[in-house]
Amino acid sequence: MSLKVKILGGGLEIGRSGILVEFEGGRLLLDYGVMLSDGEPEFPSHVSPRELDAVILSHAHLDHSGGIPLLYITEQPKFISTRLTAEITELLIQDFIHLTGYYLPYESLELNTMMRALHPVFYGDELKIGRAKVTILNAGHIPGSMMTMIEADGKRILYTGDLNTIDTRLLRGASTKFPKLDALIIEGTYATVDHPDRMETEKNFITTVKEVVERGGIALVPAFSVGRSQEILCVLAAHKVKYPITLDGMARKASKIMLKYPKYFRSYKLLSRALEKAKWVSGWSDRKKACKKPGIIVSPAGMLKGGTSVFYMKKLARNEKNAVILVSYQIPGTPGHILLENGVFNFGKRVEKVKAEVKWFDFSSHSGRKDLLKIISKVKKDVKIIMVHSERESAEAFANEVKDSIGVEIMIPENEESIMI
């Protein structure tokens, strides 16, 4: 028997991930996200929830989770994820429902139905879903993220979701000691990018922060609520930074959730110490106070597209003693990207040159080119390798490199394309 993999979203694009795996007597959906561009939210291709045995979510980010409530309007398929992922997903989707300026085809009711259908799993768990055996593995991407291995019809496939193979302060890297596979569905966000050495990045980041605070300035670190904010706090704690640290925005709620689940973290002790050291903002008076004395402010949104980091930008960016330290990829067109490229920020009434120092550090939570090559070089040459979650130019360049250096063909399917395993 053959097993069929259909790409519903995330083919030659980054966003709205969705993969349908069909085998004799069963169908599993791996992720079902949303694409948030300047237009209406875009979801993966339609799938009938009635025909699904389960929806398996790799991690909480909206580009993987944001379409899942759509599947719970009339049906209640099993929803499989780690407990931590489920709770953070609920937080992110609830926020998405409340803040999006567009019509969404679901509401909190469907989100609640989805949460009631949860069958929680943890790394190393093996479960039977119909005729398939499903194994859960750590993906190392964000807290709670997982890879999914499916065995059905005599075939074994692995879906990485978003993965990171290096240890960070917050998380253990993904394990890449895979058993014999028939297919590997791998992400390629940074298929042509080599990340700098992590310890070197940390050292340079800490040096910059110290320079800013010691000259009497405030270091604003816009960071994603889930994963990046906590990672930055752990880096500061690991380097025993003594300056006042302020934590704001949705990172506070996400951190509270994480503290309930110690076993997901590389060092729960470091995480709890880092979160304890930070001053958690409880209102506007705390925000105003944080802007008056030298220190560090960690606040979403990571690309300055909203959240409390925008408030801090308007307060701090006109002072050359201060610094804006970006710690994540900045999507072209976002305020963070415009700041990096042109040194300007929209202060509301007008766009102005930013006087504060502007820096960027690569604290990526995705595997880069070298790590992806290492994974693929370990896999036998007869394994079908399918790259998703990657832009066309990047995916094609990586596929050519792999073919030339390792002698392995990589498939780069478009949305709606099916592959027989």
Q: pTM for the complete prediction?
A: 0.96
pLDDT of residue 100: 75
Domain ranges, ordered by start, for the chain:
4-193+365-420, 198-360
Tell me what percent of the residues of the chain surpass a pLDDT of 90: 94
| Stretch 25-33: mean pLDDT | 97
pLDDT of residue 42: 94
Q: How many CB atoms lie within 10 A of CB 382?
A: 9
At the second CATH level, the architecture of 4-193+365-420 is 4-Layer Sandwich (3.60)
Count CA within 13 A, CB hemisphere, residue 9.
26
**120 backbone dihedrals φ, ψ, rounded to 5°:** -70, 145
Report how far residue 404's alpha carbon sits from residue 131's, in angstroms, rounded to the nearest whole number. Answer: 38
At the second CATH level, the architecture of 198-360 is 3-Layer(aba) Sandwich (3.40)
- Please write the tens of the pLDDT for every residue from 201-234: 999 999 999 999 999 999 999 999 999 999 999 9
pLDDT of residue 37: 72
* Cα angle 113-88-85, degrees, rounded to a multiple of 5: 85
Beta bridge partners of 359: 325
- Please write the tens of the pLDDT for every residue from 159-174: 999 999 999 999 999 9
Calculate Rg over the CA atoms of the chain: 21
Residue 49 gets which letter from DSSP? Answer: G
- Identify the band that residue 36 occupies on the pLDDT scale cut at 50, 70 and 90: confident
Alpha-helical (H) ranges within 157-298 are 198-214, 228-238, 251-258, 268-277, 284-290
Q: Say if residues 312 and 304 touch (Cβ distance below 8 Å).
A: no
CA neighbor of 227 nearest in space, from 197, 205, 258, 261: 258
* Cα angle 285-339-329, degrees, rounded to a multiple of 5: 95
- Identify the band that residue 1 occupies on the pLDDT scale cut at 50, 70 and 90: low
Q: Say if residues 23 and 132 touch (Cβ distance below 8 Å).
A: yes
